[in-house]
Amino acid sequence: MNTKNKNIALQPVESSQIAAIGHNHETNTLAIQFSPRRDGTPGSIYHYANFDSAAFAAFKGAESIGSYFGKFIKPMTEKHPFVKVTAAQ
């Protein structure tokens, strides 16, 4: 997975689990920042590979971002391997 692409622009989303998402169409990388912790520290950011623009559009447009993540991204570790880019501070 290309980890050179650490700075994918993130867009806030309405979700109890996920604070923001972003996508780099050149590297087909999805970026997800999870919701802040209870103490207010920002959530960790993860990058998921092999995520094309059509998949990102479906994710972004999902009725529930968190449910979509849980059904179509999180369990697909072979299709969408991930790396933790930043830890919660």
Query: What is the per-residue pLDDT for 1?
Result: 46
Query: What is the per-residue pLDDT for 37?
Result: 85
Question: For 64-71, which contacts have Cβ atoms below 8 Å and span 24 or more sequence positions?
Answer: 64/15, 65/13, 65/14, 65/15, 65/17, 65/18, 65/21, 66/15, 66/16, 66/17, 66/18, 69/17, 69/18, 69/32
Query: What is the per-residue pLDDT for 13?
Result: 96
- C-alpha separations of 1 from 21, 69, 84, 85 in Å: 18, 19, 12, 12
Query: What is the per-residue pLDDT for 87?
Result: 65
Q: For the whole model, what pTM was predicted?
A: 0.88
Which stretches in the chain have pLDDT values below 70? 1-6, 87-89
